[in-house]
Structure 1
Amino acid sequence: MAVRAYYEPAANGVERLPTELQMFHASPLVMRAAHWHAQVEVNFIVRGWANYRMSGHEIRFNAGDMALFWGGRPHYLNDASDDLVYAGGHLPLVHFFRLRLPQNVQAKLMQGATLVTRATDAADALNFARWNDYARSGDPMKAGMAVDELLLRIERVRFDPYDLLPGPVSVASAIEGIDHHSSPIVVRICDFIADNFREDIDSSDIASAADIHPKYAMGVFKKSTGMTLNDYVNLMRLSYAQALLMQEDVNVLQVAMDSGFGSLSAFNKSFRKIAGMSPTDFRRDVRCRPSAPRVMRAHSTGSVN
């Protein structure tokens, strides 16, 4: 029996750019353990099936399914068909909150739900392949078009049947929850955090940048994302630190400082809370894992869930 290859984080670059859209079109490897990243994940199953474990439950996506879920909660691909090909992207929150989706749907996604729609067609397979090519082309205009077209495709989800798992959602009741006032505020907040998360910032700095009162900033962000401002800033910092720890000959203290943490103890505490291990153990675990053959077909060069 052939030995099954597994996804190795050291070979992956998704988490290195937590504020930028990353596209993929791949035959992914099953993962050994959960990971997390500070983006909303979009998956379209081109062929085969994929089984995920996330937020205390498991979900199987089949060919033709399109799904969205918040990558900030630990999740992983724990089983898949041998012929699996999936496409999609890792969408920073600053783009996610520009989407014209019902507000309570956005909030439920941030709190751990997974949106799944089967209302897809052959055009989706072609479009996801093109968006991946455009995003990787090095042409800023093509990359911008990939972002714009992907966002419009996601927005169309609201007009067709979809599920929020675990548990169904009524599209009619979801539409009633739209809040056209808070979403632009959350966008301004996410913009500021994306540009400044490695600096010494707090809720007052964030609120000032969004031109609102700190208590209102904290309330509207919590309502929209299910997270506190501090939790989100920490997640951005930890995603950035995770990428730095994958590099050779890095110093944990320097990673902590470069990622925006004021001390090594604060870094260790936050990292352990999310990753379930210390930064030192994470770095050792990544380096000690044996290399595995990459099974990447279609257009991908390494972006895996």
Structure 2
Amino acid sequence: MAEKSYYEPMANGVERLPTELQMFLASPLVMRAAHWHAQVEVNYIVRGWAHYKMSGHDVRFDAGDLALFWGGLPHWLDDASDDLIYGGGHLPLVHFFRLRLPQNVQSRLMQGATLVTKATDASDPLNFERWNEYARSGDTMKASMAVEELLLRIERVRFNPYDLLPGPAAVVSAVDGLDLHSSPIVVRICDFIADNFREEIDSSDIAQAADIHPKYAMNVFKKSTGMTLNDYVNLMRLSYAQALLMQDDANVLQVAMDSGFGSLSAFNKSFRKIAGMSPSDFRRDVRCRPSAAPIVRTNATAPMN
């Protein structure tokens, strides 16, 4: 019998394309270790089943399940059926902030919860196949349609039964195979940044929230995620700003302030570095939805659905 193949995450576990949409329809390899990417992950199980170790809980997705979780915390596809086929994508944060989801869902996802719904139908496998094809076509219009249709599909989750796992009282613990000391620290850091990135925060504030020394916080986070604390905070802010800029009444200066930048010059500099264009050019060229999703804070809590 042939030896089983495994997916080997990068040495530090992080995927390095945080601002790019990645769609897939595949039979994935079981992973040897957890990985991390600064995007929201969407999974639709076409056939078979998949088991993940998340940061703080285990979850199994079965055929017909649609799941959504924040990839910015360690997760590990550690087991799967031999016939597993799943579709989905890695959604850049700009699209996550555009989603019209109940406020508690958006906040819980950023804090490490997994959304799972079994309310799917025969159109879903066909749609995920088309979205994957469009996203990989090289056609800008098709890629844009893939994003828009996927977002609408996710937003429809609110009209049917779904679960948010684990429950609100669950205690976050390390994922097996990760450093037993650093993983809970990274979780605390990500939680604090998700709740406070629009405020004036620095490494000292983040370290204090995680109850560790600032230098240790920076080293642990960089080792675990491949990103510096400053780069991660800026990515959150820029993604949030991009979502705001897609609104019809967006004012660049107000967006800069609302996204956590202390000045317009700092906003323009960071925006050009990540997006490759000015905020004004982005607002003119990339705004693509007739009506933008409302922006919600990520620190609200509510009972699980």
Q: Normalization by structure 1: what TM-score? A: 0.57
Are residues 149 and 53 of structure 1, via their aligned partners in 2, closer, same or farther at CA, if it must alter by over 3 Å?
same
For structure 2, the 5+ residue unaligned runs are: 169-189, 204-214, 227-305
Who is 2:52 aligned against?
Answer: 52
Who is 2:68 aligned against?
Answer: 68
Counterpart of 1:36 in structure 2: which amino acid? W
Whole-angstrom CA distance in 2 between matches of 1:81 and 1:265:
40
Given that 2:47 and 2:85 are in contact with CA atoms closer than 8 Å, whether structure 1 keeps it comes out as yes
Q: Give the number of the structure with larger relative contact order, counting CA–CA contacts within 8 Å between residues 6 or more apart.
A: 1
Are residues 145 and 224 of structure 1, via their aligned partners in 2, closer, same or farther at CA, if it must alter by over 3 Å?
farther
Counterpart of 2:223 in structure 1: which amino acid? R
Given that 2:16 and 2:37 are in contact with CA atoms closer than 8 Å, whether structure 1 keeps it comes out as no
Greater than 4 Å deviation, 4+ residue runs: 221-224, 264-269
SS at match of 2:150: helix
- 1:139 and 2:139 matched: yes
Whole-angstrom CA distance in 1 between matches of 2:80 and 2:93:
28
Identity %: 73
Who is 2:108 aligned against?
Answer: 108
Q: Normalization by structure 2: what TM-score? A: 0.57
Given that 2:111 and 2:191 are in contact with CA atoms closer than 8 Å, whether structure 1 keeps it comes out as no
Q: Deviations over 1:103-160 (max 9, x none)?
A: 1110000101000000001100000000000000000000000000000000000000
Whole-angstrom CA distance in 2 between matches of 1:142 and 1:62:
29
Counterpart of 2:120 in structure 1: which amino acid? T
- 1:150 and 2:150 matched: yes
2:221 to 270, 281, 296: 270
Who is 1:9 aligned against?
Answer: 9
CA-based RMSD: 3.1
Given that 2:9 and 2:34 are in contact with CA atoms closer than 8 Å, whether structure 1 keeps it comes out as no
Given that 1:23 and 1:90 are in contact with CA atoms closer than 8 Å, whether structure 2 keeps it comes out as yes
Q: Which has the higher helix share?
A: 1
Aligned 1:161-176 pairs, distance under 5 A: 161-167=161-167
Given that 1:106 and 1:224 are in contact with CA atoms closer than 8 Å, whether structure 2 keeps it comes out as no
Deviation at 1:54, TM superposition (A): 0.4
Are residues 113 and 139 of structure 1, via their aligned partners in 2, closer, same or farther at CA, if it must alter by over 3 Å?
same
Whole-angstrom CA distance in 1 between matches of 2:195 and 2:224:
17
Whole-angstrom CA distance in 1 between matches of 2:16 and 2:85:
23
Deviation at 1:15, TM superposition (A): 2.5
Whole-angstrom CA distance in 1 between matches of 2:151 and 2:22:
13
Counterpart of 1:2 in structure 2: which amino acid? A
Whole-angstrom CA distance in 2 between matches of 1:273 and 1:52:
19
Are residues 161 and 223 of structure 1, via their aligned partners in 2, closer, same or farther at CA, if it must alter by over 3 Å?
farther
Deviation at 1:269, TM superposition (A): 4.4
Q: Deviations over 1:263-298 (max 9, x none)?
A: x999744322547xxxxxxxxxxxxxxxxxxxxxxx
For structure 1, the 5+ residue unaligned runs are: 169-220, 235-263, 276-305
